[in-house]
Amino acid sequence: MADKKYKIGYTTGVYDMFHIGHLNIIKRAKECCEHLIVGVTTDELCLSRKGKLPIICEKDRVEIVSSIRYVDEVVLQSDMNKTEAVKKYGVDAVFVGSDWKGTDAWKKYEKEFEQYGCSVVYLDHTDGISSTILRERLNKE
């Protein structure tokens, strides 16, 4: 594992209606770090942020993500304070989809994480797939 650039990596998501885009981010993140921690957003946080519950319940989403061979550890994400997670888990890289690059929120995270020796790594977003797209398809049928 000496060829891995980072020791502890972290990524988060709701992972509702798990799809290939989710798997691609997790797989690419694991390729870059020795130990990958994946935060699964709680039902409560999802409800408070998006105004709706996930289609797949928290317990099942945790089970799905825990079963992926690239995932070393699953934690619940009960708030949006990613800096606390960086400190709590000793993370040296946070992985996020490239669709977030350049946004105000992630520019702020880059600066905050820097003081803890943590980098933000933007991984290619899988075009043409998202939970929103899947939901729209389901609603049409």
Alpha helices in 9-103 (DSSP H): 20-32, 43-50, 58-66, 82-89
CATH code of the domain occupying 6-140: 3.40.50.620
Return the minimum-mean-pLDDT range out of 30-34, 40-44, 52-56: 52-56
What residue ranges do the domains of the chain occupy? 6-140
Average pLDDT, the chain: 90
127 pLDDT more than 50: yes
> Would you say 37 and 8 are in contact if contact means Cβ atoms under 8 Å apart?
yes
For residue 47 the two structure tokens come to 């409800």
pLDDT-wise least confident of 21-25, 77-81, 132-136: 132-136
Q: How confident is the model at residue 44 (pLDDT cuts 50, 70, 90)?
A: very high
Residue-wise pLDDT tens digits, 34-43: 999 999 999 9
Mean pLDDT of 56-76: 97
Counts of helices then strands in the chain (DSSP H, E): 6, 5
